[in-house]
Chains A and B, each alone.
Chain A
């Protein structure tokens, strides 16, 4: 702590909380506005001046989202793709991360870091061409594979730092006792990094759920995911703000809830393990 030592004049508690509130107000307000807008009837949603606290509450926006659009299908699609991408990513990424941490395979780690830097659109052009030729546009397979481009590097990089924290003595002892590397990985390392696995799984799920760029091109009528559904709603038909806000709320709320469960590791995930909290 630099407190006091920095020679900083202390703010009074009241001033501190006033400033803190001011800084955090925009964060809270946007979510507050999204949720209240979704509950307002159309007349009040577009009323000017807008009402902040006193308004009549209706579920009409939510009802409309589910009756006018196949929102259950979109939600199911998002779930299937995010879960599939996360499962495959973990199955492939965990052994790789373990191996990079244990045998210091730096070159592999760098390749994966570069994959994170390359703009997604540079992958999208070839993938679009291939999937069109293979008639795989509008399939779950196409979406899961492309979403892996985003989540696999995150899974591997975050997990490297978790595996590095596993004490080597523990593994060496097991090896001397005749355990194979597979056994060490499965029975010793993996159980120790379980919190990390949960956190990366959540991160991977969130990134796949939020993905727009790959899905907007590779999803079709039957595999359209939620972000694409929202986009189609604004660009063509929908002018009812209550309905739009209800859709936005329905998409965002699940990731917010899930992400809060992993909040300790989110920052490390977003910075590729550069910062641990």
Chain B
């Protein structure tokens, strides 16, 4: 390396120079747009019209908090979707981790299979599920009929659409919880189990009083990451139902996307974006608190 004056100067200031390009980029592509969104949420502006944005203070927020029933339903739906999807993923993922926590032939294959759904393109997967869910021609209803159940209307009925979408999320992301739980199980100490065994504790009691508390930090991290992403789910809903039928799967993300890019109601959509961020941030803080208060 050159050790001229410039080189020495760069060496002395390395701790600022190394991250400088990233800081600059983050400021430009992340911080500034977010500030702009917050500012825009205080304006009334249609991007399709020629009139300039005009400042209306907190009116947009007042509207989404008090007047806009459709938005409030979307909030409830978003939270419900997240609880259903992440709840199912946690139970299933934990069960699978407990099953697979042993030496067996095909461990490598298991991990390979677990990774595939997580990296598969959501749009393409959504498309495949659309075909599988087709009420009269889809393989899903055929499989139900084979085991003697009556057919569902999946994403084609407003009663089941949200669950059918949650199932896609469960299909994609259960492996993440399983892999995290497996890593957690592998690092558990043996001693508590030996003590429990001597005390004659049952398997179930050992699981409830030893495994689960010890696993909780790892599980909370898994649930945290899943919840953050499930609240923001967009691709599969947009591709498979566009929020329908009859708004039955319209989450905050879908509603606000349409406000912004179908009606070009930028100010109003921005206030929803800030609200969505608040929901995601709130959920994250609750989960982080759960993790902190864990005794382990």
Chain A residues in contact with chain B, CB under 8 A? Answer: 1-3, 5-9, 16-17, 19-20, 23-24, 26-28, 30-31, 33-34, 37, 46, 48-50, 91-93, 95-96, 98-100, 102-103, 105, 108, 111-112, 115-130, 132, 145-146, 148-149, 152, 156, 178-183, 185-186, 206, 209-210, 212-213, 216-217, 226-228, 230-231, 234, 241, 244-245, 247-249, 251-252, 255-256, 259-260, 263, 266-267, 270-272, 274-277
Contacts and interface: CB of A to CB of B under 8 A. Distances in A.
A227 B112 contact: no
Given A6-B211, A125-B269, A252-B121, A181 B33 contact: no
B225 A270 contact: yes
B227 to A, nearest CB: 11
A57 to B, nearest CB: 18
A56 B112 CA distance: 29
Contacts of A272: 225
User: Mostly helix, strand, loop or mixed at chain A's interface?
Assistant: helix
A251 B193 contact: no
A230 B127 contact: yes
B197 A99 contact: no
B15 A103 contact: yes
B121 A209 contact: yes
A2 B25 contact: no
B111 A180 contact: no
Contact of B18 (A30, A96, A210): A96
Interface stretch (B64-72, B80-88, B136-144, B152-160): B136-144
A119 B23 contact: no
A131 B85 CA distance: 35
B293 interface: no
B179 interface: yes
Given A119-B276, A121-B257, A181-B14, A252 B125 contact: yes
A37 B131 contact: yes
Max chain A C-beta neighbours (<10 A), residue from B102, B194, B228, B274: B102
Given A96-B18, A125-B269, A145 B29 contact: yes
A195 to B, nearest CB: 17
A217 B264 CA distance: 12
A119 B22 contact: no
Contacts of A122: 33-34, 37, 270, 273-274, 276-277
